[in-house]
Structure 1
C-alpha cells in the first residue's frame, strides 16, 4: 500500500511541523516575560589627552578616558529562554557639525543569573576619540548602561538599565608632561 519511504516522509513532516510550532510558541512566549531592570551609572572623571592616530598618517587627535561606576541588578532578565546578556556602556554626544554619535566604551557578556548582580568601578575598555580631532566645542555626553538579551529561541531584545542624570562635559585638553 504505502512504501517505507512514504511512511518515513509522513512521519518526518509531522515531526518537523510539531517542532516548528513548539519553537514558534517559545519565541512568542518571550514577549510575555518582560522585565525592566534598574541600575545606577555615575561618571567619576573624564580626562582628555592628545594622541596620534596611526590610521590617519600622524594626525593628532584627542582621546578621552572615562572612569565610571556601575551598579545594577540584571537578574530579572534571566528566565528559561535567556541564553546570555550583552551589557555595555555607551556615550552619546553631538559633535561640532551637529552629528549625533554613540560610542561603546565598555562591554561585558553575562552568561549566568548568578553573575547578573553587577558592581563595577571601571575605565573605558575601547578607544574613545573624536574624529574631528578635538573634543573642544563638543556638546556634553550622556552615558548609558544598555543591555541586549540573547534568547535561545526568538528575537533579540534591547533595553537601557541606567543613564547619567545630567550630561557630562568634556574637560579641556591636558598636555602630557
Structure 2
C-alpha cells in the first residue's frame, strides 16, 4: 500500500516540521532576553580640512576628521542566540538644505563575548564629507554609538549603546 518513497516523504516532512517549530521557538525566545548595554562616547576634537574632490581636482571639498574615545560594555548582548554584533559610530546632522543625514564614520564587528568590551581611542575610519562640499553653515552634529545584533535564528535587533551629551559644531575649514 505505501511504498518506501512515500514513507521517506512522510518522515522527512514530519522532521522538517519539527525543525521549523524548534527554530520558531528559538527566534521568539530571543525577544525575552532584552539587555541594555552601556557605554561612554566622547569626541575630543573635530577638524575640517578643505581638500581636492576625488573626481574633480579643481574643486575643493571639506572633509571632517575627528578624534574620539569609545568605552562600551556590550557583553550583556551576548547570549546563546547571538552570532555577532556590528558596532558603529554614527554622526547625525542636518545640512544647509534641511535634510537629515546619518553618516557612519567608524565600525567594528564583534564575534565573541570576550571581545565585547570595546575600548577604542582614535579617529574616523571613513571619510566624512557633506554632499554640499562644505560644512560652513551646517548645524552641530550628534554622535551615537549604535549596534546591530545578528542572531543565529530570528530577526536583526538594533540598539544604542552611547550618545554624546551635547551637539558639537563643525569648525571652519582649514586649507591643506
| Cα shift at 1:122 | 1.3
| Cα shift at 1:53 | 1.6
Aligned pairs for 1:20-99 within 5 A:
20-56=20-56, 58-99=58-99
| Cα shift at 1:56 | 4.5
Aligned-partner SS, 1:166: coil
If the length of structure 1 is used for normalisation, what is the TM-score?
Answer: 0.97
| Cα shift at 1:2 | 1.0
Alignment partners' CA distance in 1, 2:104 and 2:55: 19
Displacement over 6 Å in runs of 4+:
none
Deviation readout 1:131-161 (Å, 9 max, x if unpaired): 1011010010000000000000000000000
Alignment partners' CA distance in 2, 1:141 and 1:11: 59
Aligned-partner SS, 2:6: helix
Equivalent residue for 2:4?
4
If the length of structure 2 is used for normalisation, what is the TM-score?
Answer: 0.98
Alignment partners' CA distance in 2, 1:2 and 1:150: 44
Alignment partners' CA distance in 2, 1:56 and 1:129: 15
Give the alignment's Cα RMSD to 1 decimal: 0.9
Aligned-partner SS, 2:86: strand
Equivalent residue for 1:15?
15
| Cα shift at 1:175 | 1.9
Aligned-partner SS, 2:129: coil
Equivalent residue for 1:120?
120
Equivalent residue for 1:167?
167
Deviation readout 1:53-77 (Å, 9 max, x if unpaired): 2235642110000100000100000
Question: Which runs of 5 or more structure 1 residues have no equivalent in the other structure?
Answer: none
Contact 2:51–2:175 (CA under 8 A) maintained in structure 1: no
Deviation readout 1:21-48 (Å, 9 max, x if unpaired): 0000000001000101010000000000
Alignment partners' CA distance in 2, 1:119 and 1:100: 29
Alignment partners' CA distance in 1, 2:143 and 2:11: 55
Question: Which runs of 5 or more structure 2 residues have no equivalent in the other structure?
Answer: none
